[in-house]
């Protein structure tokens, strides 16, 4: 087991990539605080994990609200005694163009994706510094690197902001034994991507050298690597998980 007795917080854990990340970390021996706004799915996942002998706690928390995030982190600490890993995965997308996007859509996407990542990172740093150990892994997107034609213009900038935040925190926290990295997925089969038309799916698959859509588990294994001590000399990296659709 790569993460035996490690404690992780995973945001957006109720479904999709976050759920796959939570289950992968559990498989590798971590105890996981599951964070989301969707209470029912969160509770169902916690029960499922516990039935299989894993340890999890469920926290209904809107990551855009720093007071809720602080309370969640305090409670996770009280439950598990330490916080080794934070996976900032929760995110939202809106479709549209610069003409159709509303100010509210822009604000919400930036608030969840970028400010939420900031709120959760800020809330765990003191603990990780004291431990002189921590792994922060941010789920970004290919859209932060190359832009995106179908998402409303807030999404790509929120992810580019996450990439810059990752590098900033990697520099600021390196001397405390904290690694900060990101993954940049593309075209992963989840409820977020289920909005694509059949035509758009075909177009996307045709643009991916490996010739298929990604699975949540493809992202989860990359997150696991960055969360493990196998990646201890890596920080400030944004790892592409995109089937070769973008290479940098």
Ligand X SMILES: NC(=O)c1ccc[n+]([C@@H]2O[C@H](COP(=O)([O-])OP(=O)(O)OC[C@H]3O[C@@H](n4cnc5c(N)ncnc54)[C@H](O)[C@@H]3O)[C@@H](O)[C@H]2O)c1
Which of 3, 7, 10, 17 binds ligand X (CB under 6 A)? It is 17
Instruction: Please report how the helices 216-227 and 16-27 are oriented relative to each other, as an axis angle in degrees rounded to 10.
Output: 50
**120 touches ligand X (CB under 6 A):** no
Q: Which 68-97 positions form the footprint of ligand X (CB under 6 A)?
A: 89-92
Which of 63, 76, 128, 226 binds ligand X (CB under 6 A)? It is 63
Integer CA distances (angstroms), 164 to 159, 195, 240, in order = 9, 28, 15
Which of 22, 45, 112, 170 binds ligand X (CB under 6 A)? It is 112
Region of 47-55, 94-102, 180-188, 196-204 interacting with ligand X (CB under 6 A): 180-188
Region of 7-15, 22-30, 46-54, 202-210 interacting with ligand X (CB under 6 A): 7-15
Which of 46, 135, 145, 186 binds ligand X (CB under 6 A)? It is 186
**153 touches ligand X (CB under 6 A):** no
**117 touches ligand X (CB under 6 A):** no
Cβ-based burial of 116 (10 A; exposed 0-12, middle 13-18, buried ≥19)? buried
133 classed as catalytic: no
Q: Is 4 left (phi over 0), alpha (psi -120 to 50) or beta?
A: beta
Q: Which tokens in the block code for residue 32?
A: 């996981």
**9 touches ligand X (CB under 6 A):** no
Phi, psi of 226 (to 5 degrees): -70, -25
Region of 23-31, 56-64, 78-86, 98-106 interacting with ligand X (CB under 6 A): 56-64
Binding residues (CB under 6 A) for ligand X: these are: 11-12, 14-18, 36-38, 62-64, 89-92, 112, 116, 139, 141, 185-188, 190-193
Residues with catalytic annotation? 155
């Amino acid at each position: 087991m790569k993460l035996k007795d490690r404690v992780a917080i995973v945001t957006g854990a109720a479904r999709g990539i976050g759920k796959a990340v939570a289950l992968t970390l559990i498989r590798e021996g971590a105890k996981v605080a599951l964070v989301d706004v969707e209470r029912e799915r969160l509770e169902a996942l916690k029960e499922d994990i516990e039935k299989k002998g894993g340890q999890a706690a469920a926290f209904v928390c809107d990551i855009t609200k720093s007071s809720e995030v602080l309370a969640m982190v305090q409670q996770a600490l009280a439950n598990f005694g330490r916080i080794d890993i934070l996976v900032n995965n929760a995110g939202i997308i809106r479709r549209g163009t610069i003409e159709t996007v509303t100010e509210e859509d822009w604000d919400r996407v930036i608030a969840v994706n970028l400010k939420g990542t900031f709120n959760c990172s800020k809330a765990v740093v003191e603990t990780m510094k004291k431990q002189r150990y921590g792994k922060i892994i941010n789920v970004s997107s290919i859209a932060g690197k190359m832009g995106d034609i179908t998402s409303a213009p807030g999404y790509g900038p929120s992810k580019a902001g996450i990439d810059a935040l990752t590098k900033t925190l990697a520099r600021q926290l390196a001397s405390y034994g904290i690694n900060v990295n990101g993954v940049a997925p593309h075209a992963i089969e989840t409820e977020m991507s289920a909005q694509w038309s059949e035509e758009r799916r075909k177009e996307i698959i045709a643009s991916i050298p490996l010739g298929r859509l990604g699975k949540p588990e493809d992202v989860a294994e990359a997150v696991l690597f960055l969360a493990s001590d196998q990646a201890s000399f890596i920080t400030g990296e944004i790892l592409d998980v995109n089937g070769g659709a973008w290479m940098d």
